[in-house]
Amino acid sequence: MHPAGKAKLKEIRLRWSDGIAKDDEQLTVEGVPAHPGGGLWHPDTFDNRRTLEQIMAAGNETYGDGTHWIEEREA
């Protein structure tokens, strides 16, 4: 629990290895919701995390294990 008595909020974003796409490019993978580049942070909600996990899995399947991952930070 945060010192002020409130839970800390987290944000997440999708990242990928160099050479796959630029941060400002739209990533599209068949069967996965379109998602803007990995530079954008999103609130760590169930729906946002599920979407990023789907994209990460599809990216890792297409480009190789470990090429896509989810970063977290405190908001």
Question: Helices (DSSP H) in 1-75: which residue ranges?
Answer: 46-63
Specify the DSSP class assigned to residue 25.
Answer: S
Show Cβ contacts of residue 70 under 8 Å, excluding neighbours closer than 6 positions: 12, 13, 14, 15, 49, 52, 53, 56
Across the range 51-75, mean pLDDT stands at 92
The percent helix, strand, coil of the chain (3-state, each to 5) is 25, 30, 45
Q: What is the pTM of this model?
A: 0.71
Encode pLDDT of 14-43 as tens digits.
998 887 765 555 555 565 555 555 668 999
